[in-house]
Structure 1
Amino acid sequence: MKQTLLRQWSMLRKIPHAPKTIDAATLQKRLEEVGHNIGLRTIQRDLNTLSAELPLIADENKPQGWSWSADVRYLDLPLLEPQAALTFHLVERHLQTLLPPSTLDYLSPWFRAAGVFVREEGEEIARWPDKIRILPRGYRLMAPDIDGEAHAAVYRALLEERQLDLSYQSRASTAARDYIVHPLGVVVRDSLVYLICTFDGYTDVRYLVLHRVRSARVRRQKAILLPEFSLDAYIAAGHLGFSDGGDAILVEARFSVAAAAHLYECPAGEHQTIEPDGEGHVKVRFMTPDTKELQWWLLGFGAQVTVMGPPELRARMRESIAGMAQAYAG
């Protein structure tokens, strides 16, 4: 009895929501992959039996496709705990632009279940969403509009490793142009989503900003991937415009005590040290990659921070500050 229950529970979890379907033979294969060796006739009998009690539907195709009814929430075993319900609620609210549309569709039953839980479990739980906020550090620009169908097609092509037909309008162009691209990855940075890819017939890696994609269609052909490509290495090399070489440097800077207060709990980099340096100031040393973001972060402290080294970073800081002083002189 226990093995039957475990097998049926595993099978139910592998059935998609309508309009997607799965046939009994595919279910048999997926159950075998997780250790349930069962005959096809048994699976068909289980499906017919369970559909009499659960909102499972079958189509008229051959082989017959099975799915959960589109309007049913996920199977409530086990029930959502309060922390899980809140987590799904926050994911739905804050990760809409980060997750692939197909993943959001897959999670939609959990989102609905979380919403029901929050509404039905008393006033205290219902007020949870009003008690938690996620804020970005620094000033955040508003997100540009992204075509929903193009967004879905890009993520589907990336997940399935297929080619894409794209209509793309660059910033410098007045009209969109058509391309065939091979997706390699997606980078989400603040309010922008970048598609990392190669153009058909070329091997140099490029990036496209998703909100400039006017239309996208997934092709049947598999994408040509680059075996040596690393998304992390591509970012570290500065191709997205945020690196000054990427090598780690030893930063030495004189901070006001107030400006350095948060660094005791949130270090600026590896091997950080903080020591007194005259009245009202401390000397901070840490190892970190040499990036434009580092320079922007240090500039944001204004006169409360003076970079002492390395010389190359100090020179760039001096150049930026001199340029600002000249711009404000008039």
Structure 2
Amino acid sequence: MNDTLLRQWAMLNYIPRYPRKVDVATLAARLFAAGYEISKRSIQRDLITLSQVVPLVSDDAKPQGWSWKADAAQLELPTLEPQAALTFQLVERYMQSLLPSSTLAYLQPWFKTARAVLNQHDTSIASWPDKVRVLPRGVQLLAPVIDEQVQAVIYQCLSENKRVQITYLPRASKEVKEYMISPLALVVRDKLIYLLCTMKEYADIRQLALHRIKTAEITEKEINRPTDFDVDTYIASGAFGILDVATTMKLVVNFNVDAIAHLTETSISSDQKIEEKEGGIYTLTATVPDNLEICWWLLAFGDQVEVIKPEKLRRKIKNIAQSMCRRYERDDVKLSY
């Protein structure tokens, strides 16, 4: 195969999608590492030539940066298979409520390619999304808006282990603050994306909501990564307010017949047992994580559930119920709507 073709194909793979960019010097270094010796001038000529046939764009910065157009169709060799295209189309339809708009925008080239692939095939595949519906449970919150350029810089710093200079608006503040941070990992929770990082030379882990980062600028300085950092261990420690302690508990709960129905088919644990009692009451026994989400899950059943054990959880839910009763017993509430 022609060496020029192989080199240009390799170079296209090194060019990121806008708003990220790469300069000629960086391309030359990456090509050299891949075994291609070529001058910067030749790379520049290749880029200009290729931009006439593929959707590449450059800016006026010094050094000049090159990118794939933001809306360019995803270049796939071999082409996207119909089954993969179908998966992308289902993601586009049903992840709207789960992913930030900036992330969905980033995936648009793949969605566009998937639609084109499905339109070329028989109706049995192309019509499949019209035969599937996903109904979410509970109140669906809207995802906050994340600056696309900020997100692109943060993701680049994560992949390249580089520190980033940011401006950040804390939740309880109206004043933007500047930080030099070392990005370590991302955690997605309830449509919010949290960046785990360290600041300056400190070892303690901080959580920054990605949508509160106003500006981000990559640096060439390597990150400050604590030697013992592990994202799963960090989450299990209760850092996101999920765990009370990293243990399990034996849960014993009485459910009304209507509330227990779905648990007979979708168990809360592998050792779950359900025993029918008198008066339409069912006792569920299961080993579950000792965390706050179990409490929230039980509270969602309202008066259709009674916690028997553990005593600590029973007292906690009892106190919440009593507090709610006191709040709703007030007669001096004035509605201003």
Given the alignment of the two structures, is residue 302 of structure 1 paired with residue 277 of structure 2, yes or no? no
Amino acid at match of 1:259: A
Cα distance, 1:164–1:69 mapped onto 2, change above 3 Å: closer
| Pairing of 1:179-198 with structure 2 (within 5 A) | 179-198=179-198
Q: CA deviation at 1:152?
A: 1.6
Q: Counterparts of 1:176 and 1:218 in 2: how far apart (Å)?
A: 18
| Pairing of 1:163-182 with structure 2 (within 5 A) | 163-182=163-182
Contact in 2 for aligned 1:254/1:308 (Cα 8 Å): yes
Q: CA deviation at 1:268?
A: 1.1
Report the equivalent of 2:268.
268
Q: Matched residue of 2:278: which SS? A: coil
Report the equivalent of 1:153.
153
Contact in 2 for aligned 1:56/1:67 (Cα 8 Å): no
Q: CA deviation at 1:92?
A: 3.9
Q: Counterparts of 1:164 and 1:144 in 2: how far apart (Å)?
A: 22
Unpaired runs of at least 5, structure 1: 33-38, 42-47, 60-65
Q: Matched residue of 2:272: which SS? A: strand
Cα distance, 1:213–1:134 mapped onto 2, change above 3 Å: farther
Q: Counterparts of 1:56 and 1:285 in 2: how far apart (Å)?
A: 61
Q: Matched residue of 1:279: which SS? A: helix
Amino acid at match of 2:75: Y
Cα distance, 1:197–1:25 mapped onto 2, change above 3 Å: closer
Given the alignment of the two structures, is residue 200 of structure 1 paired with residue 217 of structure 2, yes or no? no
Given the alignment of the two structures, is residue 258 of structure 1 paired with residue 258 of structure 2, yes or no? yes
Q: Counterparts of 2:151 and 2:56 in 1: how far apart (Å)?
A: 30
Cα distance, 1:134–1:325 mapped onto 2, change above 3 Å: same
Cα distance, 1:303–1:57 mapped onto 2, change above 3 Å: closer
Cα distance, 1:185–1:96 mapped onto 2, change above 3 Å: farther
TM-score by length of 2: 0.75
Q: Counterparts of 2:329 and 2:185 in 1: how far apart (Å)?
A: 45
Q: Deviations over 1:232-276 (max 9, x none)?
A: 222222222222223211111011222112222221124211121
Unpaired runs of at least 5, structure 2: 39-45, 58-65, 331-337
Q: CA deviation at 1:318?
A: 0.6
Cα distance, 1:98–1:158 mapped onto 2, change above 3 Å: farther
Cα distance, 1:12–1:133 mapped onto 2, change above 3 Å: farther
Report the equivalent of 2:329.
329
Q: Matched residue of 1:271: which SS? A: coil
Identity %: 35
Q: CA deviation at 1:328?
A: 0.8
* RMSD over equivalenced CA pairs, Å: 3.9
Report the equivalent of 2:78.
77
TM-score by length of 1: 0.76
Instruction: Identify the range of structure 1 (18-27 vs 214-223) with the bigger mean alpha-carbon deviation.
Output: 18-27
Cα distance, 1:74–1:254 mapped onto 2, change above 3 Å: same
Q: CA deviation at 1:285?
A: 1.1
Report the equivalent of 1:45.
none
